[in-house]
């Protein structure tokens, strides 16, 4: 016997790796087949486009959330960031602010609020959960104060195109979401910043000792999350033609759900955007299916919670070393 | 012949892609210290983890005092009287010694709900006294030294009436004096009939302590031999399967100008007025007991900890180091003491781990030039003989020696002027160790200044051109290679010698 211990055995398929890689796609396929058998409306083009359009808002928020969770953080304030940036922008657009400036303003507010999150975490040494929980409350409070509890409706048409226009057959929100996903995937997989995000999530102490400016990177990550939330808010108000004071409430939950179902680990450094994309679509398909099957909306929450729990159990089962 | 305490028969264990233990049969007797030697990745820890219930064997049988046992969990192992003291200690730092010893089985007051603290302390004290230890059982674990924590683990094992105690490299974090205390304890347990299985890379210790030596290689048992019939050379040959001519190959490099000059470094109570210099081409060994301030000096030079007072000159210019980032930019590198906690990104690829410092250089507009990174990586893997199936492999799946080479590769990528290595070969197999020493010599020959911290005196003596000794935050002595000896270094490190 001269086999070296470190050599992989040639025979045998590594099922856990396969499952991990394609498990989510398989679940999605099973769900799609099931729904198309149960409802003849499910597999129509208009319904599928509808699913994707519904998924765009959460998908964009979930892109930022993916980066945050990869650094072993969490951003609970995305819903409030979305709300505050949306109402301020809606108000100023109504007062005649040029559309490009309005968009920049919204994204700027998102970046600023994200930066405050990041600074509280890195300079104040406040755990991300607490820091962003604070921002959730503050952001919502400011939104209510700004709106005095009343919605802003009737936005300029020049602005509403990002929610309602189409590029050929593809609705604008989907175009924007695809661009966001592709850009983020390139950044995460091809750039120094992307590498650092994974390294910081894996081991922040080692990252600092390897010369990574961990504080700066983490602030940047929360800023990106804020910008994503603000962008999602723009699309949302453009579609609804209205910015409600309670807009975006609970969106952090949907985004976290998409990321977690997509296989990104809460302990950081493991996962990615492809999973988040699938997770977002899976959750939206599930919502859509429950709708088509006339299941009470009250059940949606329950089903979503169960799905997340099942996803975590599944990842734990195929990879027991995972935290 | 005494009946065996423990008998393993045809134990097999595989992990995805690796056959970790291949058909191992082994016996151990009451009142013996059985040393288990082998390179990292040889299967020692896996075998012992099976024995202590961390995971089951794929096949094979285990007998304990003549009874076949099925060890399904660490708890079951504990009940059977098998205790394992891991490299990573499993005590709870915020609790006291007594609380840790009786964790989960505290003596209860009559009502059954409340812990009888008094009784617990008395019982724990009795145990500590029995072992001849001298710290209070009411002390917090976080206030104890690593050595004392190990003693607590052993006390805990004894409190379970353990018949078999497994120690996985217990001395890797201990100074020699602390090790001696541990060895005395192990010997007295042997007298009491306990079976001790002792995993170590340190040959001197194995030969001092053990009755028999079992050697593993590539998941198989190579042989079990009474220690008195062995020499260090034969054990090493059994471990690596080839002859090792030289433990510490030392090439003499040409020593150049002073590159780093540290004056009166002071930081808290851990570093007090330390002054020394490093020259190009020189390997300086920094010796001293654990906790003497060696690591703190390294961290200051690397910008990881702040400096209260003092000055650092690099190539004649005063530098102020506020972060590792700055130190790296100025050409200072640090291979940290604790590989897993401070060095590695365990869940990331070999590529990311080895080339993290290169990303700064091999990138355009922030985009990493992966083809250049990979070209460099392939060279580094060959140069350092890093054993990995591919660059995507997670570094977690590599053996300790290969992990350390990955970290060293990281620093080679940026070719620092000064490289500090803190315990560079701790817990690493003999072959990798020799490779790392050779590499250090080669780097010095190219003009790098190397500061090596080590608790292993043979390593310090074998590798260094010059040796500094620290004690309680102060630099106590400096020896040239010719002057230095184990005795002189130990005297300086333990304070039996005036500063020299």
Residue A4 is predicted with a pLDDT of 36
Residue B432 is predicted with a pLDDT of 84
Contact A191/B399, CB-based, under 8 Å?
no
Weakest mean pLDDT among B92-96, B119-123, B144-148:
B144-148
Nearest residue in chain B measured CA to CA from A323: B347
Check residues A154 and B134 and name the one with the higher pLDDT. A154
Two tokens at B363? 């990138």
The alpha-carbon gap from B378 to the nearest alpha carbon of chain A, in Å, equals: 19
Contact A7/B18, CB-based, under 8 Å?
yes
Nearest residue in chain B measured CA to CA from A208: B324
Residue B159 is predicted with a pLDDT of 85
Residue A167 is predicted with a pLDDT of 86
| Dihedral, B374, B380, B385, B390 alpha carbons, nearest 10 | -10
Q: What is the ipTM of this complex?
A: 0.86
* Of B409, B408, B441, B410, the residue nearest B425 (C-alpha): B408
Tens digits of residue pLDDT in B431-470? 888 889 989 999 999 999 999 999 878 888 889 999 999 9
Q: Quickly state the pLDDT bin for A296 (edges 50, 70, 90).
A: confident
Please check the confidence at residue B373 and state whether its pLDDT lies above 90. yes
Residue B244 is predicted with a pLDDT of 45
Contact B352/A199, CB-based, under 8 Å?
yes
Chain B residues near residue A217 by CB distance under 8 angstroms: none
As a whole number, the mean pLDDT across chain B is 87
Q: Is B323 on the interface with A (CB under 8 A)?
A: yes
Contact A209/B352, CB-based, under 8 Å?
no
Q: Is B362 on the interface with A (CB under 8 A)?
A: no
The alpha-carbon gap from B99 to the nearest alpha carbon of chain A, in Å, equals: 26
Residue B247 is predicted with a pLDDT of 58
Q: Is B322 on the interface with A (CB under 8 A)?
A: no
Residue A294 is predicted with a pLDDT of 87
Q: What percent of chain B has pLDDT over 70?
A: 94
Q: Is A10 on the interface with B (CB under 8 A)?
A: no
Chain B residues near residue A10 by CB distance under 8 angstroms: none
Closest partner residue to A203 (CB to CB) among B41, B304, B345 is B345
Residue B88 is predicted with a pLDDT of 64
Residue B91 is predicted with a pLDDT of 86
Tens digits of residue pLDDT in A37-83? 998 899 898 899 989 998 999 999 999 999 999 999 999 999 999 99
Quickly list H helices, B221-323.
232-240, 294-301
Q: What is the mean pLDDT of residues B81-106?
A: 84
Q: Quickly state the pLDDT bin for B249 (edges 50, 70, 90).
A: low
Q: What is the mean pLDDT of residues A280-303?
A: 87
> What are the structural domains, with CATH classification, of chain B?
6-240 (3.40.50.300), 258-494 (3.40.50.300)
Burial bucket for residue A300 (CB in 10 Å: 0-12, 13-18, 19+): middle
The alpha-carbon gap from A54 to the nearest alpha carbon of chain B, in Å, equals: 33
Tell how far CA A151 is from the center of its chain: 25
Chain A residues near residue B363 by CB distance under 8 angstroms: 191-192
Residue B352 is predicted with a pLDDT of 95
Chain A residues near residue B219 by CB distance under 8 angstroms: 5
Closest partner residue to A269 (CB to CB) among B17, B348, B370 is B348
Residue A277 is predicted with a pLDDT of 94
Check residues B414 and A301 and name the one with the higher pLDDT. B414
Chain A residues near residue B341 by CB distance under 8 angstroms: 203, 205-206
Q: Quickly state the pLDDT bin for A278 (edges 50, 70, 90).
A: very high
Chain A residues near residue B357 by CB distance under 8 angstroms: 210-211
For an interface test with A, the pick among B300, B348, B366 (most A C-beta atoms closer than 10 Å) comes out as B348
Give all strands of the β-sheet with B164-168 in edge-to-edge order: B82-85, B164-168, B195-199, B33-37, B212-217, B220-226
Residue A15 is predicted with a pLDDT of 66
As a whole number, the mean pLDDT across chain A is 89
């Amino acid at each position: 016997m001269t086999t070296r211990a470190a050599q992989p055995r040639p025979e045998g398929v590594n099922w856990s790796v396969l499952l991990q890689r394609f498990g989510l796609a398989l679940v999605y396929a099973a769900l799609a087949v099931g729904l198309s058998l149960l409802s003849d409306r499910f597999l129509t083009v208009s319904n599928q486009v509808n699913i994707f359009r519904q998924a765009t808002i959460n998908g964009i928020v979930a892109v930022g959330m993916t980066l945050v969770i990869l650094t072993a953080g969490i951003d609970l304030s995305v819903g409030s960031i979305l709300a505050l940036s949306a109402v301020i922008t809606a108000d100023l657009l109504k007062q005649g602010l040029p559309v490009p400036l309005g968009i920049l303003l919204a994204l700027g507010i998102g970046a600023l609020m994200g930066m405050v999150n990041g600074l509280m975490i890195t300079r104040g040494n406040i755990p991300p959960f607490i820091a962003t929980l604070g921002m959730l409350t503050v952001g919502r409070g400011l939104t209510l104060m700004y709106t005095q509890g009343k919605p802003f409706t009737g936005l300029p048409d020049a602005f509403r195109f990002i929610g309602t226009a189409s590029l050929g057959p593809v609705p604008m929100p989907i175009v924007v979401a695809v661009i966001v996903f592709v850009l983020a995937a390139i950044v995460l997989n091809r750039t120094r910043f992307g590498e650092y995000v994974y390294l910081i999530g894996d081991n922040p102490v080692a990252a600092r000792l390897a010369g990574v400016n961990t504080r700066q990177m983490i602030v940047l990550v929360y800023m990106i999350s804020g910008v994503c939330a603000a962008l999602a808010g723009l699309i949302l108000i453009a579609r609804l033609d209205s910015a409600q004071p309670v807009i975006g409430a609970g969106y952090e939950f949907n985004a976290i759900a998409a990321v977690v179902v997509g296989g990104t680990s809460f302990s950081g450094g493991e996962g990615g955007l492809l999973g988040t994309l699938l997770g977002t679509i899976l959750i939206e398909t599930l919502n859509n299916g429950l709708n088509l099957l006339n299941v009470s909306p009250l059940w949606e929450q329950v089903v979503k919670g169960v799905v997340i729990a099942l996803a975590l159990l599944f990842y734990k089962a195929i990879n027991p070393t995972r935290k | 012949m005494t009946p065996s305490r423990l008998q393993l028969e045809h134990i097999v264990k595989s992990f995805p892609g690796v056959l970790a233990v291949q058909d191992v049969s082994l016996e151990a007797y009451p009142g013996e210290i059985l040393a288990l030697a082998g390179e990292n990745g040889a299967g020692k820890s896996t075998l012992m983890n099976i024995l202590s219930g961390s995971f089951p064997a794929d096949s094979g049988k285990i007998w304990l005092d003549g009874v076949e046992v099925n060890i399904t969990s660490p708890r079951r192992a504990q009940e059977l009287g098998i205790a394992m003291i891991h490299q990573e200690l499993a005590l709870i730092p915020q609790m006291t010694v007594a609380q840790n010893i009786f964790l989960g089985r505290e003596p209860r007051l009559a009502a059954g709900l409340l812990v009888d603290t008094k009784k617990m302390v008395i019982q724990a004290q009795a145990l500590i006294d029995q072992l001849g230890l001298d710290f209070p059982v009411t002390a917090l674990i976080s206030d104890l030294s690593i050595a004392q924590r190990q003693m607590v683990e052993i006390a805990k094992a004894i409190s379970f009436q353990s018949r078999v105690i497994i120690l996985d490299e217990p001395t890797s974090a201990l100074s020699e004096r602390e090790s001696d205390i541990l060895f005395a304890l192990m010997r007295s347990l042997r007298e009491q009939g306990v079976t001790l299985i002792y995993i170590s890379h340190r040959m001197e210790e194995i030969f001092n302590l053990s009755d028999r030596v079992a050697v593993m290689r590539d998941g198989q048992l190579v042989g079990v031999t009474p220690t008195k019939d062995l020499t260090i050379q034969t054990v090493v040959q059994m471990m690596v399967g080839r002859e090792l001519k030289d433990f510490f190959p030392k090439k003499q490099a040409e020593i150049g100008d002073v590159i780093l000059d540290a004056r009166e470094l002071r930081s808290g109570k851990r570093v007090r007025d330390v002054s020394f210099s490093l020259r190009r081409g020189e390997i300086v060994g920094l010796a001293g007991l654990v906790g003497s301030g060696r690591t703190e000096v390294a961290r200051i030079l690397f910008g990881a900890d702040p400096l209260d007072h003092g000055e650092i000159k690099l190539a004649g210019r005063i530098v102020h180091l506020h972060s590792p980032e700055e130190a790296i930019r100025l050409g200072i590198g640090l291979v940290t003491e604790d590989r897993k906690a401070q060095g590695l990104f365990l869940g990331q690829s070999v590529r990311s781990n080895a080339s993290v410092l290169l990303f700064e250089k091999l990138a355009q507009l922030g985009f990493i030039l992966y083809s250049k990174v990979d070209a460099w990586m392939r060279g580094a893997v060959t140069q350092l003989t890093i054993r990995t199936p591919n660059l995507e492999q997670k570094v977690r799946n590599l053996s300790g020696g290969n992990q350390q080479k990955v970290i060293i590769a990281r620093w080679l990528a940026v070719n620092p002027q000064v490289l500090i290595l803190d315990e560079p070969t701790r817990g690493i197999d003999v072959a990798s160790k020799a490779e790392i020493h050779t590499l250090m010599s080669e780097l010095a020959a190219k003009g790098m200044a190397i500061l090596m911290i080590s608790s292993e005196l043979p390593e310090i003596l074998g590798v260094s051109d010059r040796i500094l000794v620290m004690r309680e935050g102060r630099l106590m002595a400096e020896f040239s290679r010719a002057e230095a000896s184990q005795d002189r270094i130990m005297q300086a490190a333990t304070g039996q010698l005036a500063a020299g």
